Amino acid sequence: MNQSHYDVIIIGSGAGGGTLAHRLAPSGARILLLERGDYVPREKDNWSTRAVNVEGKYAAKETWRDRAGKELHPHTNYWVGGNTKFYGAALFRLRREDFGELRHAGGISPAWPIGYDELEPYYTEAEHLYQVHGERGADPTEPPASAPYRYPAVSHEPRIQQLSDDWAQLGCRPFHVPLGVMLDERNPRQSRCIRCETCDGHPCLVSAKSDAQVICVDPALQYPNVTLVTGAYVSRLDTDASGREVTTVHVTRNGAEEVYRGDLVVVSCGAINSAALLLRSASDRHPRGLANGSDVVGRHYMGHINSVLMALSKCPNPTVFQKTLALNDFYFGSEEWPHPMGHISFVGKLDGVTLSAGAPAIAPGWTLELMGRHSLDFWLTSEDLPDPENRVTLDRDGRIVLSYRLNNEEGHRRLIAKLETLMQRQRACAVHGHECHQGLFSRNLFVGQRIPLAGVAHQNGTIRFGRDSRSSALDPNCRAHEVDNLYVVDGSFFPSSGAVNPALTIMANALRVGDHILGRLGSRRSDAVATAALGAAV
């Protein structure tokens, strides 16, 4: 049995854990990063839509269950860098209003215990760290920022530019998606990113995506005080007799049990696995699960209401990198509907192979291959509200059960209707006239698919932070109310989910919590020095 002691143990190396490790690395503190996965192998399959989307080569090989006991195979990834290895790298800030209470058609989106201004400097830092390419001031709902993006927005290809122009002519304010890809369009021969069609959902074969492994974990490992252990599944956390301090981190690795000890323990396994870990760590002192006197751990699971919608036209869409355009005009509602609707953007370009995995209803007269060549592939996100009954629990064998009932759907339906209307009002195509779109965008050809429960890409909310220990598990610094040396820095802490992609908020918060932890480590060090000095003087 391996026994080792560290100043900080971080469990999980994704957006939260990886970013935190990067923040703490220069401090000299002994840091251990425990990651259940390995490095994603660099191989041609990284960019194969068949291997990635049809065969699920890199997806977690686990089975969870839903509320009814039906098996589900989660679309999640266990690797160094976590889900950021596969993300589309659209790195948005939540809106300022998302931090306050917001009234939705389906209920209340609760306020956060910190305001936007508290996170703002960390958003800026996270954007710089993750090399976000964007344009300030074009997104009409964008919150104020203290610095410009360091890199110019990724340009639109002609079909996407045409759509952007059409939307602008209709009075909308389309803008460029802020993206974490290392693309240098002014210097293509030097550019690390080659602008390919297999980015969103795929690992980057040339390490040009700003993911947590490339940007944070690998640089952190340059410090001698940082250690990464891969293949290390954390099964349980034990506390001392008082229940106020985690003393032992139990790991299963290569079929054997290992034990690690740290002064501070940070859980960052993703919102579902972090909740599961705390629930698995129930004890006499914490009978409902570690740090769960409030009974909120595992509850309030949110994952956004997401839809992929394909708009077909007679003209092909030859776009390679499609995820450059977004629309937030309806984020907070519209003139006729005073409630939030959400965010319109794109997924990576779909092809026939990808469509064959869980294909939407085929449009009459079209093959999947043809649909893939002629579609614009939209991604629509609306906010789902925190419901205590939407939750992560464990079954008798310790397996994850994800219970979820969709809520707040009306805004999403209206967002889809808005997009449909906008698409029907596109300018006439030079080749086919209005025939290019008309009819093609009638209901039966505007095919769409709601992302199913297994699509847990935007998971958040299961270990919420707050000021009141009766209704939250973490304090505003993301430290457990009930356990002095336990923190959580993945997407679990969100009290509400907003309607933009979550990763930048997780990264910014990890930097914020990192500063808090550095303060704690610093004062501990100076206490130790003072005690030593006192000892010498006596």
* Site for ligand SF4, rule CB under 6 A: 181, 193-196, 198-199, 204, 206, 208-209, 321
Residue 208's binding partner out of ligand FAD, ligand SF4, none, with CB under 5 to 8 Å set by partner kind = ligand SF4
Residue 464's binding partner out of ligand FAD, ligand SF4, none, with CB under 5 to 8 Å set by partner kind = none
Neighbouring-strand partners of residue 64: 72
- Options 20, 25, 33, 89; binder of ligand FAD; rule CB under 6 A: 89
**Using rule CB under 6 A, residue 479 touches ligand FAD:** no
Residue 84's binding partner out of ligand SF4, ligand FAD, none, with CB under 5 to 8 Å set by partner kind = ligand FAD
- How many of the other CB atoms lie within 10 Å of CB of 122? 23
- Options 22, 23, 36, 156; binder of ligand FAD; rule CB under 6 A: 36
Site map (CB under 6 A) of ligand FAD, residues 217-236, x = contact: ---------------xxx--
Site map (CB under 6 A) of ligand FAD, residues 289-328, x = contact: ----------------------------------------
Residue 87's binding partner out of ligand FAD, ligand SF4, none, with CB under 5 to 8 Å set by partner kind = ligand FAD
Neighbouring-strand partners of residue 479: 487
CB within 8 Å of 346: residues ≥ 6 apart: 160, 177, 322, 323, 324, 325, 326, 376, 377, 378, 379
Residue 200 CA to residue 321 CA, distance in Å, equals 9
**Using rule CB under 6 A, residue 131 touches ligand FAD:** no
Residue least distant from ligand FAD (Cβ)? 14
Sign of CA dihedral 236, 242, 246, 250: negative
**Minimal distance in Å, beta carbon 403 to ligand SF4?**
35
**Stretch of residues binding ligand FAD (CB under 6 A), selected from 28-36, 147-155, 396-404, 426-434:** 28-36
Residue 184 CA to residue 129 CA, distance in Å, equals 16
- Options 74, 88, 178, 298; binder of ligand FAD; rule CB under 6 A: 88
**Minimal distance in Å, beta carbon 537 to ligand FAD?**
45
Residue 466 CA to residue 114 CA, distance in Å, equals 8
Site map (CB under 6 A) of ligand FAD, residues 435-474, x = contact: ----------------------xx----------------
- Options 7, 35, 98, 482; binder of ligand FAD; rule CB under 6 A: 35
Task: Reduce the DSSP state of residue 167 to 3 states and report it.
Answer: helix
Q: Please, which residue, 194 or 259, has the CB nearer to ligand SF4?
A: 194
- Options 34, 102, 291, 309; binder of ligand FAD; rule CB under 6 A: 34
Q: Please, which residue, 6 or 92, has the CB nearer to ligand SF4?
A: 92
**Minimal distance in Å, beta carbon 490 to ligand FAD?**
3
Neighbouring-strand partners of residue 9: 32, 265
Residue 75 CA to residue 61 CA, distance in Å, equals 10
Residue 473 CA to residue 301 CA, distance in Å, equals 14
Asked if 469 and 297 touch (Cβ cutoff 8 Å), the reply is: no
**Using rule CB under 6 A, residue 86 touches ligand FAD:** yes
Residue 153's binding partner out of ligand FAD, ligand SF4, none, with CB under 5 to 8 Å set by partner kind = none
Residue 52's binding partner out of ligand SF4, ligand FAD, none, with CB under 5 to 8 Å set by partner kind = none
Query: Residue 396 has which token pair?
Result: 């008798």
**Minimal distance in Å, beta carbon 373 to ligand FAD?**
22
**Using rule CB under 6 A, residue 499 touches ligand FAD:** no
Q: Closest by alpha carbon to 180, among 146, 157, 214? A: 214
CA angle 217, 247, 299 (to 5 degrees): 75
Q: Please, which residue, 154 or 371, has the CB nearer to ligand SF4?
A: 154
Asked if 153 and 325 touch (Cβ cutoff 8 Å), the reply is: no
- Options 199, 237, 269, 521; binder of ligand FAD; rule CB under 6 A: 269
Query: Residue 192 has which token pair?
Result: 């690390």
- The single-letter code of the amino acid at 457 is A
**Minimal distance in Å, beta carbon 92 to ligand FAD?**
7
- The single-letter code of the amino acid at 45 is D
Q: At what angle do helices 503-537 and 116-129 cross, to 10 degrees?
A: 100
Asked if 439 and 367 touch (Cβ cutoff 8 Å), the reply is: no
Task: Reduce the DSSP state of residue 171 to 3 states and report it.
Answer: coil
530 burial (CB, 10 Å; 0-12 / 13-18 / 19+) is exposed
Asked if 126 and 506 touch (Cβ cutoff 8 Å), the reply is: no
Neighbouring-strand partners of residue 309: 378, 448
Query: Residue 52 has which token pair?
Result: 């990635």
Residues in contact with ligand FAD by the rule CB under 6 A: 11-17, 34-37, 78-79, 82-84, 86-91, 200-201, 232-234, 268-271, 273, 277, 457-458, 490-491, 501-504, 506
